[in-house]
Structure 1
């Protein structure tokens, strides 16, 4: 799969520029094992890079013009480094321009370059193809122009590019996972301080299977903003009663239960999910370190129940997929992954059972919703890297 995308991207570069690319880079998508909607609540997340990539074929061209070719879209965009870099009305171009703009602002000595990129990260499935694009171009330019940026700086440049040129106020998890990923390792990331540690994620006789609902409900942005407001309100009430609480990390279920009446049903549910999810991430790290996959699966399923019933960011299609696998002996755990209201479920399943499971659930899903289910088998892989031929 990796070789195929490298070959096709390289061939496309050669056809367009009548020359072989000087460098090939691979930038991965990501999954999040557990820790949903806690990145903006002072919690921890547990992401990992996966073996789905954007491949970049790049060469310097020794003038100030930059040529960007999106192979999959069959689109080309040109700009000159001497001109002011500002957002345009082509979305994929903005992810790259945002990175170039920041590098210029930092005083980086950039020269013109030609790039062809192609992706096998499924679009719209919540696997962070946008972070892979930002971080991949940042990583590539850092290498070819010898900019001496750290991995952390590349991740932050990717995030800021999305904020400023794309207009999406994303957290740091996606970019961090894409750049810092390691094979068979998850990253326990503190989204507030950016402190991180690696933990083993060798799933032995189990594998990770993503089931893509193929739906994206329009509630994502409004629902996300509403949840942020609700948990902020809840935290203010908790702080009034318990001055020792600075963030949800300092909070426990007993405090919430004492304040249940004051918080009201809605805010109580939202805050209860956050407090328990922060605890579940810690428990999941222990389960992974001990290769206790049954425990990890249970935690994932508990997270889904919380996302669906307490945080209320799931949807009928995702709930159906998660419920459909609950009684399958080959499945240890299943949950919605990402912001919600559509996207993928992540499933921890016995190796060898994937194809039968996909066939069975796809059939049930088609009957229930009339929608084709997509499925992706993924492995935990290394982060953005230069491919050595």
Structure 2
């Protein structure tokens, strides 16, 4: 993962400075009372179109980032419950709003942060893969819009003195934060798929071209590292469409440009070591796909473990809970939780917990997973 210095450029709160006592009150509230009450509060703010609700939701999300370091168990419990209740609404809103996305749309920013946070819960990453025909083009458009906006702000900087104002700085930080959330969500959606069709959809949506542009244009080492991780996921699949797209976009040339920049800045950076490793791995996968040489394992070897991208708190390890609130047992080696076969999101200790949850609201929230249909 990136070093603390590079993380700070992407995770700085962009809503402006607010009184510290409000932040402390929000953080303390998240650690107390009922988890379902917090989830309902998140959902109420999310479904509202009002700016006040969206600002309050942003404060809650900022507090959640800190909660991950203060009380990891409570954080995991809220993330899982939140994923179960508002995943469908969040993905539908993003798909419907994505084509009209602008960088000053605070609700899209919040939806992306919630979806990224939810994607740390492995069943959500699987659900996002099933939506690849819808979600990949939207995320690609968001990344492209953010890139164009950042380049425009950079080009106008010498002739616009107002850019030194807090407003312009907040706008730049918000645009970069939105782009990082979209990239992290893309990575988590691709990291666990072994189906080459998912990779092909990402390539057909123009994702490879956009990611290559980002690697070439960015001067943020952390953003470049995420982009290279996405390219690594695509290259490792060995899919012919993916390999052709990567070669056509000249990803190795783009990777060499960011490596040159890293060496010029500080070759001893820990993130620089990760970038060097990623570039070498991408080159190896591309050569292997061309038949230059073979390894002892096949292309796209499913046994290789990947970690979800947790850029706000790299040490976080997600914990699974029984979805029935009155139970709340945590999964461990002696208590393996079973996943709901219909929505594939909720987890239960036994049929008793599943039946109780179904009779107390899950029957209205459970929605069927639809397998993707490729044309």
TM-score normalised to structure 1 length: 0.27
* Greater share of residues in helix: 2
* Greater share of residues in strand: 1
Higher relative contact order (CA 8 A, sep 6+): 1
TM-score normalised to structure 2 length: 0.28
